[in-house]
Each structure stands twice: as structure tokens, then as C-alpha cells.
Structure 1
């Protein structure tokens, strides 16, 4: 059985991945267990456990807040990631890391491939791109998966906001198009990567098949839940950080290289809704 170390195991994605690997030889460290910006602590954990795979779910994800805290965003998403990658290489492990659709500027007219030119519009996207580059510079065996519009039945995310807010009218932007991606589906895929590792290292995209606007995503969530609530599309919603208008990712190379069929957005929403109701 392969030995796996999950860093950032307490967040939305980390929780999903930890659950997917719960029957495995897995060590789960959340932010209270490990500060990924501290070299000595990271080194201690890696040499103590000597995992075969390190799955990094730790990240600075507050997109708007990053505009006023750029140093913190780059410290966690870039500097710490490069340090982690170098130490993972020292212990001979493989690193699995997650990046974002926000490395692109949204000017494309067709889904972005992993090889397409990056040009982030905000601090968060820039910090995640620098994290990718830092990993590559170390020469560690790695898989970087860019993901998009992540949601889950647990944690703080758009799916739960739609399900649980008490607004008389929800106003949701209809001018940004992306790929809603289930953290549960992503976690299932990561187990496939680890257990069937093809050693095709590099940068890939993973998101559920299909694209939609945030407004359409909200409508789909309500439809699956059978909820009749007032929802209005808006062309603008004031945010501190600029977002790409089109950030659809092409995951076809992922399916080919890993021999894995990714589910459609509608199926993923249904599975998430089922899991959400089961935990109530």
C-alpha cells in the first residue's frame, strides 16, 4: 500500500481527498498540524513520514483579499510551494499540487489547454502561477492539476451558498463562464492517479465536462434540489479582484494520459446534492 501525506487536509479540497484515501496508508495534516511556510516543520514531517506521494491542498484562496495581502498570497502559494517541492524531491516522493483557471486572462474563445499562454488578471492567479513555476524549477516528480470553480457538499463554497442563503432574491453574475468542478469527483480522480500512476508528469487540467455561467450554475443547483427561489442574472457584481470572463478548461489530455473518464457537470451536481442531503 502506497504511503501518502496530505497537506492542508482540513480545507474543502483536503477534506474530500482525505475521505477518498481514508482506507489507505495516509497521513493527514491540516493547518494546525503543519505551517507550510516553515522550512524546518515541513522538512521534519517529510523525513518523519517519508511518504511516496505528497498531495498539497494547502493554499491561500481568498481571491479578493489577496489584492490587499499580496505578500501573504505569494508566501503561501508560491514561496512555500517551491520549498515544499524541493523537500519532496529530497525524500524521493511525487508531488501532486493544485492550481487554478485564474492563471488565464479569459480572452480565449475555446477551452484553454494546459499548453496555452498564461496571463493572470489578479494577485491570486499570479501567485498560483508562480507556484507552478517554482515546482517545475525544482525538478521534483510532479503532477499539477489546474481546477476551476471548485465546490463540495462541505466547507464554504458556492454550492452551499446557493443552498443555504436566506436572501429574498439571489443576484448572480451571468457574464463569467467556467467549469464548475466537484471536489468529490476530483478526489476520486486523485486516488486513480496515485494507484495507477502512469508517470506522465506535468501540468494538466481537471474539471467536470461542460461549461456554464455562475447564474446557470446556481439555477442548476436549485433545479437538482427542487427549490423554487427567486434568482436574477446580473452583468456586473463588484469585486476587488478582476476575474476572467471565460476560463473554461480543456481536460481531454487528462482523460487520455490517465485513462480516466471525467463526469459531466450535471452528474457531479446531482452527486454533490445527494452527499449534501445525507450529511444533514
Structure 2
């Protein structure tokens, strides 16, 4: 297919886990360009406008964010400047250019007081500065550009970057026992599979009015951090890699600057109904991650996504 016939997808952000996954994603109908600093600064509206003008995209994905959850507690102004005001800047620039925007948000916009998967219409109530900044970003995007899709996700991990899964694999090489919190429930979401989903949304729904609004995009199923660690170690052990025994602890035994929701599982029923997309079960994705990690995460190709 000639390059000119492909949908040009501009990703705002290039160093984060998700931006890297989007840059590696392959789709016959898409041409993906990632832009980040120094070319692009979400706090600088002029840089966003000039980046859009330079790359002439058909759709924009805002994957840029302040993602250091604990650091946001001591730097709430910085988190707000990027996650809220920056998101609004991006949405405004897209509206001025006549473009739809796909904005990535988080499960941490919820309080965690629910005992069943959160749906998009559930009341929000973030309990940390990061969640508050991301919720404010959702409001900015919706107010600044009607042509928007907001995708909430959470517990992201990839074969690259800094994340829980890579930390667990490293600790398994150093320790026989790893202490892991078991009273926070969510859904570990494998970033390469999430990137494939986002790209399909960009190609099939970003320009369609009845496919706009807020959607949840995460792996299927639920578990806690200890469950996740045990799955990683079991897969690694089967493949001859490092493994450890998990000592299950409570959140009170592992205090962090930012409070985490006790339950932030996301229902993805709306995403499936609107787009026909469903990410794999988190357990299968964890197994896929371990296989890649053990081969050498820095050079191994991303496995084909089983996203349906």
C-alpha cells in the first residue's frame, strides 16, 4: 500500500512505555510518527501547533504525561501542568487543525471504593495527586475538543522502561522471597497490546461521532499485585528463568507517598460494544511479557497482539 494512502497518526510523546509501543506497532493502514522533547512540549501550545503543522497527521494520540504517581504528591503543580493544562493545550491545537484527539487517562481517577469493575459512567473520586491531575486532563480535553476519545487504562507494563513487571524480574535474580502487596486490585495491562488497541481506535473510530467520549481499555480479568508477581515468576520458572517466592503483604506494610485505590478494575464492555475490541486476559499477556523479557527485552521483537 503506498505510504500516502495510510492514515497518519501523530503520537505526542516518544520516551514513555506507551509511546515506544505505538512507535513499534505495525498496521497496514497506519503510519505512526512520535514527537517529544525538544520538538514538542505539552506546556508550550506553540510547539504543539508547529508539530502538528510539520507532520500533517490525520489523528493525534496524546500519550505524553507526568506518570510518577508518588512524585506527584510532592510536585502536584508539575503534574497538573502536564496532565491537565498540557492535555488541554493538545486538544485545543487539534481542534484548531480540525483533528480528532485520542487522550490516554487512568484507572486512578476512581476512589477504589467499588467492589465490581468500574464502568465509564461511575462517579470519579481520585485519592492522589496523580489521579486528580489526570481527571482534570479529561475535563480539559472534553471541553477543548468535541472530537475526542478518552481511553482510561492502568497498571501498565512493557519489556522496556520502568515498571512493576521488570522490577519483579530483576528482584527474582537477587532474592529468594519478594514482598508484594496483595490488597490492591486492578488489571495488569500489557502495553504492546494496549498500543495495538489504541491504534485500531485511531483508525476506525476517532473520526466517527458515535464513537467519541470516554472508554476503558485494559486487559481482561482482575488480580492484585501479588497475583501478578506470582504469574510472572511461574512463567519465568517454566522457561528456565529467575523466580522467587511471593510474601503477600498489605498496603499498610508498604507505605507510599501516594495512596492507591484498593480496587480499580475497569470494565471494557463499552469499548467492545463500540469498536469490537477486547484485550487478552492479563495472565496470558504476562506470560508473553516473560518470554520476551527472557529473550532480551532490549532487542526482542514485540509478539503479535492477540487483540480481537
Residue 21 of structure 1: CA displacement?
A: 4.3
CA distance in 1, matches of 2:63, 2:193: 15
Q: Is 2:245 the partner of 1:230?
A: yes
For 1:246, which of 257, 260, 263 is the aligned residue?
263
C-alpha deviations, 1:159-206, integer Å up to 9, x for none? Answer: 100111223431111110001111011011122212322720010001
User: How many aligned positions are there?
Assistant: 280
C-alpha deviations, 1:5-37, integer Å up to 9, x for none? Answer: 111122111100111148743321123331111
Residue 271 (structure 1) aligns with = 288
Residue 71 (structure 1) aligns with = 77
CA distance in 2, matches of 1:22, 1:10: 21
**Partner-residue secondary structure (3-state), 1:97:** strand
2:175·2:244 contact (CA, 8 Å) conserved in 1? no
Q: What is the TM-score when the length of structure 1 is the normalising length?
A: 0.96
Residue 142 of structure 1: CA displacement?
A: 1.1
Q: Is 2:73 the partner of 1:90?
A: no
Gaps of 5+ in 2: 1-5, 298-308
- 5 Å-filtered alignment, 1:17-166, equals 17-21=22-26, 24-165=30-171, 166=174
Q: What is the TM-score when the length of structure 2 is the normalising length?
A: 0.87
Gaps of 5+ in 1: none
Q: Is 2:180 the partner of 1:180?
A: no
2:182·2:224 contact (CA, 8 Å) conserved in 1? yes
CA distance in 1, matches of 2:192, 2:279: 12
Residue 220 (structure 1) aligns with = 231
| 1:31/1:170 CA distance change after superposition, 3 Å | farther
2:12·2:63 contact (CA, 8 Å) conserved in 1? yes
Residue 140 of structure 1: CA displacement?
A: 3.4
CA distance in 1, matches of 2:122, 2:8: 34
CA distance in 1, matches of 2:66, 2:243: 35
CA distance in 2, matches of 1:228, 1:160: 12
2:230·2:245 contact (CA, 8 Å) conserved in 1? no
Please list every run of at least 4 consecutive aligned residues from structure 1 whose deviation after the TM superposition is greater than 6 angstroms. Answer: none
C-alpha deviations, 1:94-142, integer Å up to 9, x for none? Answer: 1111111110001001100011000000100000000000011113311
CA distance in 2, matches of 1:145, 1:113: 12
**Partner-residue secondary structure (3-state), 2:262:** coil
C-alpha deviations, 1:210-242, integer Å up to 9, x for none? Answer: 100101110011111114413211112110111
Residue 198 (structure 2) aligns with = 190
1:12·1:183 contact (CA, 8 Å) conserved in 2? yes
Which segment drifts farther, 252-261 or 77-86?
A: 252-261
